Amino acid sequence: MRHQLPSHPEAFLPAPSAFAPSHSSNMRRRDWLRLGAGLAGGAWALGPGLGLALAATDKARGKLVVVMLRGALDGLAAVPALGDPSWAQIRGSGSSLEGTAAAGPLGTAASAAPLALNPLFALHPSLSGLHQWYQQGQLLVVHAVASPYRERSHFDAQQMLESGGQRPFELSTGWLGRALAQSGQRSVALSPSMPVALRGSSQASTWTPSRGPAPDADLMERVAKMFQPDPTLSIRFEQALGQRAGTGMAGMAGMGGGAGSLQAFSVLARQAGRFLVEDGGPDLAWLDIDGWDTHTAQAARLQRQLAALDAGLSALREALGERWSDTTVLVMTEFGRSVAPNGTGGTDHGTGGVAFLAGGAVAGGRVLADWPGLGSQQLLEGRDLRPTLDIRNIFGSLLQRHLGLGQARLSADVLPGAGRYVPDLWRT
């Protein structure tokens, strides 16, 4: 039996039927450019075509940001189904996810209440910024969603989610990379290495802030003089120097951990927004935040993780400024987690989970879910939230809007086997 709310028919989307349970000794111009940018910014890896191809941004299509939550977010903690008849027994007060006395059943202080979305769903209290977006009609929650993957390996699930295939390692390139190769648009991953999702495009680049000391000022001056005879290289080198000055790298240097640390995420998200609003900047940005594998002590861990996600997305919106109105942000994770908690105050690898779409033009203020229910007979294999929507159908809609690719090209080359795409994700 489906649990649907007649008073909120717009909050539910039927599941698609296809989704059943030669080398030269002379340094070339682009090599000099790469050197200049590397000296100025430390780790801005310019992909072929990005350094010197300065085509104007297609503002009509807007910007796209994809945020990958590595480790598998517990969608039922982020967006609890408080109105489900089985919720109280499985996840309500008294469950092992209560944590310590200072933490409530959703992973925050006991006095913090979940933030209501509609009679069935709520939002984790640490996502207060996202809740405001929801109230403003700029956040769309997609629940009971998953890729076609049905096992529980992080490695395989992430590869499949990023490649857009129907089986792990069926495709070696990414759904975004293949789409960018067709559209000719540019992307940047704020990551030390190229994510699988962007592989396949010559217009994809990576950037990470330098953690080392600032380059010697005298060296920078001599490099600038060397570039002066070439107007193009001189201008780009000056832009790279300005880019370094505006990234807040000094603040990054004092942070512990890697680029995926909780503090670093806000810095990287803000920088992603700055890149996207630059004249001639990339059309798409990719961000990662790890630490979502909550087998133990989930309550306290998710309180920190979700607060960091909320703060980072707010920083991204602030940096985007007026471009927020034509930007879409997709937040996704490789799979959900088990419906019932385990014996160590956490949850184990599951299947169905949650995704978020945000942006100034997103038709938000809704939860899209063909809700399968949490009763024992409704769960997948008796333990997991049953997915009712293929997340690749969300991918297809994003690529149609932001990269201008038609469904025929997407189905043949980018998202094979994905089926129909989800309509009405944006306001007209």
Please report, for the chain, the start and end positions of each structural domain, with discontinuous segments joined by +.
29-50+57-414
Q: Report the DSSP pairing between strands 204-209 and 187-189.
A: parallel
Which two three-digit tokens encode residue 13?
A: 């989307």
Return the SS3 of 412: helix
pTM: 0.77
Element (H, E) at 263: helix 262-277
Place of tokens 């810095």: 267
Q: Are 397 and 421 in contact (CB under 8 A)?
A: yes
Return the SS3 of 240: helix
Task: Mention the CATH class of domain 29-50+57-414.
Answer: alpha beta
Q: Given this model, what pLDDT does residue 41 score?
A: 38
Q: What is the pLDDT of residues 101-140, one digit of tens each?
A: 333 444 444 448 999 999 999 999 999 999 999 999 999 9
Element (H, E) at 123: strand 122-123
List the chain residues with pLDDT less than 50: 1-59, 99-111, 245-260
- Least Cα distance to 127 among 69, 88, 191, 62 occurs for 69
Rounded to the nearest integer, the mean pLDDT of the chain is: 80
Which two three-digit tokens encode residue 335?
A: 């799979």
Q: What is the pLDDT of residues 134-190, one digit of tens each?
A: 999 999 999 999 999 999 999 999 999 999 999 999 999 999 999 999 999 999 999
